[in-house]
Amino acid sequence: MVVRTPSVIAHARIADGVGIRFGYITGKRLGGAVMRNKAKRRFRELTKGLITDQVGDYQAVWVMWRLQPVAASATVAELERDIAQVWTKVLKRTRT
C-alpha cells in the first residue's frame, strides 16, 4: 500500500508478528547531510508522538516513510497533518 502526501510517500505492508516498525528514507534532493538528518529527526519525533498513542489491536505493520524535498521546509503543523493522513489510511487497512 502506498500513500502520498506533499511531504512524504509512505509504503506500508502487513508483516508477520506483532508491532509496528518504521523506516525513514531521505534522498539527496532533500538537501545536504545536515538537512536530511534534521528532517529525519523531526519526522521521527513527530511519528513517535502521534502514532504510539494510537496503537491498538492491529496486525504487525512495516511503514517506510520516504521524505520529499518539501519536508525540509514544512512546518510542524503541515508534517503532523501529513502523518495523520497517512496513518489513518494505514490503520483502516490493517485493523484485525
For residue 12, what are the contacts with CB-CB under 8 A and spacing of at least 6?
A: 1, 2, 3, 61, 62, 63, 64, 86, 90, 93, 94
Amino acid at 76: V
Distances (CA, A) of 15 to 2, 12, 93, 95: 15, 9, 13, 13
pTM above 0.85, yes or no: no
Distances (CA, A) of 55 to 26, 58, 87: 25, 7, 10
CATH number of 2-94: 3.30.230.10
Q: Report residue 89 CA to chain centroid gap.
A: 12
For the chain, the average pLDDT equals 83
Residues 31-63 have pLDDT tens digits of 899 999 999 999 889 888 766 655 555 567 788
